Amino acid sequence: MAMPLIEKYLAYFFNRSTEDSCGMSASLDAPKHRIGVSAKEMILFFGLPNDNIMCCDPYSEDLYFMAPPLEDLSSQDYKRSTMESLIACSTPENNLFLASHLSKHFWLYNPVLNRWQELAERPLGRMHSGMGYLNGHVYLLGGRNPVTDGRLKEVECYSVQRNQWTFVAPLPHSLGKMQVVTLNDHLYVVNKRRMLCYDPKRNRWRHCGSLRRDKLHKACVFQDQIVCVCDIPVVKAYSPSRGEWKRLGDIPIDSRALNYQVIQHNSKLLLLTQTLLQHNKNRVLIHEYDPARDTWKNVMAVYVSTLGPVCVSTRVYPACLSSAHSFSTEEDDDSGSSADWDFDGLTDADSDSGSSSSFSDENW
Spatial contact of 333 and 278, defined as CB atoms under 8 Å apart: yes
Report the distance separating Cα 144 and Cα 288, nearest Å. 34
Check: CB of residue 245 under 8 Å from CB of residue 293.
Answer: no
The neighbour count for residue 135, using CB atoms within 10 Å, is: 12
Question: What structural domains does the chain harbor?
Answer: 31-260+307-318 (2.120.10.80)
Instruction: Say if residue 313's pLDDT is above 80.
Output: yes
As a whole number, mean pLDDT of residues 197-212 equals: 94
What are the angstrom distances between the C-alpha of 111 and each of 11, 24, 95, 316?
A: 12, 12, 9, 6
Angle among Cα 131, 267, 211 to the nearest 5 degrees reads 50
Separation of alpha carbons 237 and 219, rounded Å: 9
Question: Can you tell me the distance from the alpha carbon of 260 to that of 232, in angstroms, rounded to the nearest whole number?
Answer: 9
Whether omega before 233 lies within 30 degrees of 0, making that bond cis, reads yes
Cα 190 from Cα 175, distance rounded (Å): 9
237, HSE (Cβ side, Cα atoms, 13 Å): 18
Instruction: Give 168's strand partners.
Output: 155
pLDDT at 26: 34
- Mean pLDDT value across residues 319-338: 60
CB 250 within 8 A of CB 237: no
Give the mean pLDDT of 72-91.
64
Of 94, 81, 69, nearest in space to 7 by CA: 94
Q: Are residues 94 and 314 in contact, defined by beta-carbon separation less than 8 angstroms? A: yes
Checking if the pLDDT of 24 tops 90, the result is: no
Return d(Cα 282, Cα 56) in angstroms, integer.
14
Q: How confident is the model at residue 214 (pLDDT cuts 50, 70, 90)?
A: confident
Q: Return d(Cα 358, Cα 90) in angstroms, integer.
A: 34
Measured CA angle at 83 (ends 267, 93), to 5 deg: 30
Residue-wise pLDDT for 174-195, tens only, equals 887 889 999 999 999 999 888 9
Q: Express each pLDDT in 106-162 by its tens digit.
A: 999 988 888 899 999 999 998 889 999 999 999 999 988 888 888 999 999 999 999
Query: How much is the pLDDT for 345?
Result: 41
pLDDT at 16 over 90: no
